[in-house]
Amino acid sequence: MTFAVHGLPVARGIAIGRAVLVVSSRIDVAHYFIKPEEIETEIDRVRTARNAVADELAKLQANVAQMGPNDAPHELAALLEVHQMLLQDEALSGGVKHWISERLYNAEWALTTQLEIIARQFDEMEDPYLRERKADLEQVVERLLHRMKGTAAVLAPSPPRRKRAASADDDNDDPTAGDGIDVPLVLIAHDLSPADMLQFKKSVFAGFVTDVGGRTSHTAIVARSMDIPAVVGARTASQLVRQDDWVIIDGDAGVVIVDPSPIILAEYGFKQRQGDLERGRLARLRHKPAITLDGQRVELLANIEMPEDTVGAVKAGAVGVGLFRSEFLFMGRDTGTRQTRLPDEEEQYQAYKRAVEGMQGMPVTIRTIDVGADKPLDSISANKQEHLNPALGLRAIRWSLADPAMFLTQLRAILRAAAHGEIHLLIPMLAHASEIRQTLSLIDFARAELDNRGAVYGHVKLGAMIEIPAAALTLRIFLKHFDFLSIGTNDLIQYTLAIDRADESVAHLYDPAHPAVLRLVADTIAECRRQGKGVAVCGEMAGDVAFTRLLLGLGLRSFSMHPSRILAVKQEVLRADTGKLEAWAKGVLESDDPAAAMAG
């Protein structure tokens, strides 16, 4: 039966494919694709864990048998027997083998996927006793996952074997019957960690959906960096969609259509082809300079997460990197002690050097680590923050200043990489003069350490993020110390309007066109221009074509966005006359309803 789930559109376009569910677990579970030659190794990991758990249960059963009736009730022996039966059940082991061998899931992912499928079967049973056995199954799987923890193979993303997408001519019961050709996959999850997003970024998904998140949650931002259709804040999508269901993701409308009819498939297939044609038309602008009709040159820069992203930035026509989110180098390293999880100076230096070389002489702006809020460094941090408000806690520069050794390591690596090309150093979430002084002092100290070692390093321009209203209201202090400012509109909107940008329940209140937000942005741009300092917008507003004309009218000449948005924004720039836009932008700022004024 066809039904629709509504959420928030965060990455445009249409995706059609089979659902792949990422199921939540009480312990942290890695999700990645293995290589075909690793199938037997992963199956053997499950087999080894199953044998070990079977031995554990057998020993417990033997101990129970030796106890008297007062020490161990007979129900305990029966429960252990049920666990043994579930452990050996072919529905569990056979399903796990299927997901490993057919979809190339790693063993843990295959286990949680099959658990979800069997658990739903238990939920549909009429007998209450049998329904309750779902909890026993969950306990058995948790035992297996604990056994496998620490024995995972090295992450090795690899495309799973797939079959082709459905079309209007297919039998909707089995659109792939008998053809064996490739089909796209779409990812469905309650939520995704930034580390998971990075892993999936290297794989084969045509789109994704999450139950939680807002338009500028980090999950949504990385979705746009994958340049695939995505919907977040879809509430119960992961509960309603089943493994291998056919799904359409409408990233323009924020709608997820499950089990679509042939007519609906045909309609969305047409929309998908139209989107491809539009992207083709935009691609012709790649090598055209971004100059307005009245001759104003506009700088279109790229936001990246990893050094490898520079390939896409150059291909999209970016004239530099306006934001390298360095925290992604620190994520997904949940093994060993905290010290071994953090990349050392040499590893960071090599990553920044690759980014500089990848941009082929164009400037690269590296933001120092910005963890916290919707970007916890690891699962431990995430659990610790569960009942706090991490957006107002120890994050970004606060986190760095609280750990000077870690911060100095990063600063030394960035300074060394600057010997290979133009690097701008960007500091996030500054709000206090004392933080500015501490930061500048540590940068000087990092230089002194490199001097003492006789290490080669380069000069960097220093910049600060304006993402807290307090910073936007005290620009005079910032412009005394920094060469340029970069407006992080995602957090600026969040803090100005007191809205958690990752919380779908208040997402409707997240408003980039709010008069207070626009006033802070406009004043920051104007003050930088008055003092001859560089200013850019690197938040999601920069890549939103609905705001391109307004930002140009406010005097902005440097936009930094995901590479997938550059050509669309360039098209708006090429059509704009900034002389005419200035008066219009002033009217928008003075309006009680800027969104309506922009649309009018």
What confidence score (pLDDT) does residue 333 get? 59
What confidence score (pLDDT) does residue 386 get? 47
pLDDT tens per residue, range 514-528:
999 999 999 999 999
What confidence score (pLDDT) does residue 338 get? 44
pLDDT tens per residue, range 436-464:
999 999 999 999 999 999 999 999 999 99
Q: Which residue has the tokens 């290297």?
A: 202
Under 8 Å CB-to-CB from 432, ≥6 apart: which residues? 470
Residue 223: pLDDT over 80: no
Residue 387: pLDDT over 70: no
**Cα separation of 369 and 216, whole Å?**
18
Average model confidence (pLDDT) across the chain: 85
Assigned token pair, 215: 């338009």
584 versus 189: the higher-pLDDT residue is 584
Q: How far is CA 101 from the centre of its chain?
A: 27
202 versus 439: the higher-pLDDT residue is 439
The answer to whether 286 is a known ligand-binding residue is no
What confidence score (pLDDT) does residue 67 get? 60
pLDDT tens per residue, range 352-381:
999 999 999 999 999 999 986 555 555 444
> Given 218, 424, 528, 562, which residue is catalytic?
218
Sheet with 14-22: strands ordered across: 3-6, 255-258, 246-250, 14-22, 185-189, 205-210, 230-232, 8-11
pLDDT tens per residue, range 312-322:
999 999 999 99
What confidence score (pLDDT) does residue 164 get? 39
Residue 132: pLDDT over 70: no
**Is there a catalytic annotation at residue 538?**
yes
What confidence score (pLDDT) does residue 135 get? 72
What confidence score (pLDDT) does residue 74 get? 56
**Cα separation of 507 and 489, whole Å?**
15
Q: How many percent of the chain have pLDDT more than 70?
A: 83
The answer to whether 367 is a known ligand-binding residue is yes
Residue 70: pLDDT over 70: no
Min mean pLDDT across 240-249, 318-327, 369-378 is at: 369-378
Average pLDDT over residues 129-139: 73
**Cα separation of 554 and 581, whole Å?**
8
**Cα separation of 364 and 366, whole Å?**
6
Assigned token pair, 543: 């890549």
**Cα separation of 295 and 574, whole Å?**
10
Other C-beta atoms closer than 10 Å to the C-beta of 81 total 13
What confidence score (pLDDT) does residue 196 get? 67
Average pLDDT over residues 337-353: 81
Nearest to 164 by CA among 14, 17, 2: 17
The answer to whether 490 is a known ligand-binding residue is yes
The answer to whether 467 is a known ligand-binding residue is yes
What confidence score (pLDDT) does residue 176 get? 37
Residue 35: pLDDT over 80: yes
Assigned token pair, 343: 């990349």
The answer to whether 179 is a known ligand-binding residue is no
**Cα separation of 463 and 140, whole Å?**
52
* Model confidence band, residue 177 (pLDDT cutoffs 50, 70, 90): very low
Domains of the chain, first to last: 3-23+158-280 (3.50.30.10), 36-148 (1.10.274.10), 295-599 (3.20.20.60)
User: Hey, CA dihedral for 168, 173, 176, 178, is it positive or negative?
Assistant: negative
Min mean pLDDT across 71-80, 231-240, 268-277 is at: 71-80
Under 8 Å CB-to-CB from 20, ≥6 apart: which residues? 103, 185, 186, 187, 188, 205, 243
Q: How many percent of the chain have pLDDT more than 90?
A: 59
Enter the pTM of the model.
Answer: 0.72
Could you tell me if 203 and 340 are in contact, meaning their C-beta atoms sit under 8 angstroms apart?
no
pLDDT tens per residue, range 558-574:
999 999 899 999 999 99
User: At 536, which amino acid appears?
Assistant: A
Average pLDDT over residues 92-108: 93
339 versus 567: the higher-pLDDT residue is 567
> Given 31, 83, 528, 538, which residue is catalytic?
538
Q: Which residue has the tokens 């056994």?
A: 147
What confidence score (pLDDT) does residue 195 get? 58
Partners of 258 in beta bridges: 3, 247
Residue 114: pLDDT over 50: yes
* Model confidence band, residue 64 (pLDDT cutoffs 50, 70, 90): low
Number of C-alpha atoms within 13 angstroms, CB side, residue 108?
22
125 versus 446: the higher-pLDDT residue is 446
**Cα separation of 465 and 271, whole Å?**
39
**Cα separation of 77 and 84, whole Å?**
11
**Is there a catalytic annotation at residue 218?**
yes
What confidence score (pLDDT) does residue 151 get? 47
70 versus 163: the higher-pLDDT residue is 70
Assigned token pair, 7: 């959420």
* Model confidence band, residue 237 (pLDDT cutoffs 50, 70, 90): very high
Packing angle, helices 90-103 and 39-66, rounded to 10: 160
What confidence score (pLDDT) does residue 199 get? 64
Number of C-alpha atoms within 13 angstroms, CB side, residue 412?
21
Other C-beta atoms closer than 10 Å to the C-beta of 179 total 11
What confidence score (pLDDT) does residue 430 get? 97
**Cα separation of 339 and 519, whole Å?**
43
* Model confidence band, residue 434 (pLDDT cutoffs 50, 70, 90): very high
15 versus 125: the higher-pLDDT residue is 15
* Model confidence band, residue 214 (pLDDT cutoffs 50, 70, 90): confident
**Cα separation of 536 and 320, whole Å?**
12
Average pLDDT over residues 498-518: 86
* Model confidence band, residue 301 (pLDDT cutoffs 50, 70, 90): very high
What confidence score (pLDDT) does residue 81 get? 83
Residue 385: pLDDT over 60: no
